[in-house]
């Protein structure tokens, strides 16, 4: 039997399926992710731009999960300030997410190292050099990928773990479902794999552990918490959505992007090329003012986005400025002028718990599911 407050060994749970449920609240599930990141629970809050700020991240970290700051929408000075704010709120480990193709990625990596951040998370595969620099400084490197070959590449370059997002996930996404992509990656690499796309409860955590993953990452579920700074009107739109109210469109930036259906999305899908270009230029000017990036830096970022993709220049501009469309909704509460990135799982979410309540609920559910698994079943001829 597992003593209260001690980590749970999954094999023990399977063997002792009738362990008292009164111990659930004091248990935690020990996996390669918890040991790698130094957190209590194998749950990750993803680094969502304009959403994953100091309040949400510190609340997640204090709850025993791994909170990730979304730095892509911050200037370097804002990033340093946000890191220090989280550190002032909690002593628990947390991470920072950044774009590997950003023109100032080197500067952001230096800030992460200088400020003693535990984990560096990447939205795109970082270079071998960036991985080495972070690892030499003792930072855990966890890139996010959407294909097996990408996982194999970053693993070969020294990444400590990888987040694998299936097509159900919000924001930029692929076509392969998590249940198909996850086992491919687990079988292909020998580093911890974290599953993302379609998760919101303890049953999903147990399912990923059965696949051989080390934990789950959730974006939309953490967005819909009381600790999230997203305006109430926007949260209400998410809570009212059904699974059919979530769509994948390329109209926003030329790349498959999963989000809530809205009048803006419909308008973008009906727009001609000239209208799209004018809209892109307007958003480019807005993002330049907010981000502090120069036009040459934005052009370099646009070229990085265009590399290997069949995008028009209007799509490149939109891709570089999607943050402004997200800010309009996630910060300003303008559901009419902003886009609302969303996982397909939105249609299953009905409440706004605190991060502490959410993490506790996920772990309790996972332990209850593990407790209920049959321990003595034998195959029949």
129 is a domain residue: yes
Domain co-membership, 130 together with 274: no
The DSSP secondary-structure symbol of 373 reads: S
Taking only the tens place, the pLDDT of each residue in 21-68 is: 333 345 789 999 999 999 999 999 999 999 999 999 999 999 999 999
Nearest to 142, CA basis, from 159, 164, 117: 159
The H or E element containing residue 218 is strand 215-218
Query: What's the pLDDT score for residue 181?
Result: 98
Query: What's the pLDDT score for residue 268?
Result: 75
169 is a domain residue: yes
Domain co-membership, 124 together with 222: yes
Domain co-membership, 322 together with 266: yes
DSSP string, 189-212: -SS-EEEESS--SHHHHHHHHHHT
Domain co-membership, 204 together with 352: yes
**Nearest-angstrom CA–CA distance, 326 and 207:** 31
Q: With a cut of 50, list the residues of the chain below it in pLDDT.
A: 1-25
189 is a domain residue: yes
The H or E element containing residue 291 is helix 273-291
Read off the CATH number of the domain in which 53 is found.
Answer: 3.20.20.70
Q: Quick check: 235 and 346 in contact, CB under 8 A?
A: no
381 is a domain residue: no
377 is a domain residue: no
The greatest distance separating any two alpha carbons of the chain, rounded to the nearest whole angstrom, comes to 69
207 is a domain residue: yes
Domain co-membership, 35 together with 134: yes
Domain co-membership, 172 together with 294: no
- Counting the structural domains of the chain, the total is 2
Query: What's the pLDDT score for residue 10?
Result: 42
Query: What's the pLDDT score for residue 11?
Result: 37
**Nearest-angstrom CA–CA distance, 132 and 109:** 11
Quick one: tokens of 371? 């407790």
12 is a domain residue: yes
Domain co-membership, 359 together with 315: no
Q: Contacts from 129-138 at CB under 8 Å and sequence distance 24+? A: 130/100, 130/105, 130/106, 131/157, 131/158, 131/159, 132/158, 133/109, 134/109, 135/160, 137/113
- Alpha carbon of 69 to those of 36, 96, 374: distances in Å? 18, 5, 39
Domain co-membership, 288 together with 362: no
Domain co-membership, 332 together with 358: no
Domain co-membership, 116 together with 246: no
Nearest to 31, CA basis, from 356, 370, 376, 357: 370
**Total residues found in the chain within this entry:** 381
237 is a domain residue: no
Domain co-membership, 179 together with 252: no
Phi, psi of 126 (to 5 degrees): -75, 160
Nearest to 128, CA basis, from 169, 149, 157: 157
If one counts every other C-beta atom within 10 angstroms of the C-beta of residue 157, the result is 18
Q: Quick check: 101 and 305 in contact, CB under 8 A?
A: yes
SS3 state of residue 98 = strand
Domain co-membership, 334 together with 225: no
Q: Tell me the sheet residues that pair with 29.
A: 8
**Structural domain of residue 266, as residue ranges?**
242-341
């Amino acid at each position: 039997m597992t003593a209260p407050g001690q980590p749970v060994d999954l094999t023990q749970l399977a063997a002792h399926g009738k362990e008292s449920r009164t111990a659930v609240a004091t248990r935690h599930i020990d996996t390669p992710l918890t040991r790698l990141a130094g957190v209590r629970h194998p749950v990750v809050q993803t680094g969502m731009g304009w959403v994953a700020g100091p309040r949400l991240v510190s609340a997640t970290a204090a709850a025993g999960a791994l909170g990730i700051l979304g730095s892509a929408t911050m200037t370097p000075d804002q990033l340093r300030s946000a890191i220090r704010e989280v550190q002032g709120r909690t002593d628990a480990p947390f991470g920072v997410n950044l774009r590997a193709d950003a023109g100032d990625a080197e500067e952001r990596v230096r800030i992460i190292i200088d400020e003693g951040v535990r984990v560096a998370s990447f939205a795109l595969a970082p270079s071998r050099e960036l991985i080495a620099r972070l690892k030499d400084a003792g930072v855990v490197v966890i890139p996010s990928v959407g294909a097996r070959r990408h996982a194999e590449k970053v693993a070969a370059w020294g990444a400590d773990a990888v987040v694998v997002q299936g097509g159900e996930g919000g924001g930029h996404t692929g076509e392969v479902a998590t249940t198909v992509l996850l086992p491919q990656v687990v079988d292909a690499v020998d580093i911890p794999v974290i599953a993302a796309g379609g998760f919101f409860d303890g049953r999903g955590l147990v399912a990923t552990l059965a696949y051989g993953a080390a934990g789950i990452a959730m974006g939309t579920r953490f967005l819909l918490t009381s600790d999230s700074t997203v305006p109430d009107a926007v949260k209400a739109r998410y809570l009212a959505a059904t699974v059919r109210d979530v769509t994948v469109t390329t109209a926003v930036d030329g790349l498959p992007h999963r989000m809530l259906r809205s009048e803006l999305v419909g308008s973008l899908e009906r727009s001609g090329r000239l209208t799209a270009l004018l809209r892109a230029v307007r958003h480019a000017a807005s993002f330049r003012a907010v981000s502090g990036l120069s036009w040459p830096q934005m052009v370099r970022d646009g070229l990085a986005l265009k590399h290997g993709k069949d995008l028009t220049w209007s799509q490149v501009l939109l891709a570089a400025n999607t943050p402004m469309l997200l800010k309009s909704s996630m910060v300003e509460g303008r559901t009419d002028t902003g886009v609302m990135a969303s996982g397909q799982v939105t249609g299953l979410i009905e409440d706004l718990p605190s991060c502490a309540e959410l993490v506790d609920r996920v772990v309790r559910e996972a332990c209850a599911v593990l407790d209920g698994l049959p321990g003595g079943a034998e195959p029949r001829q």
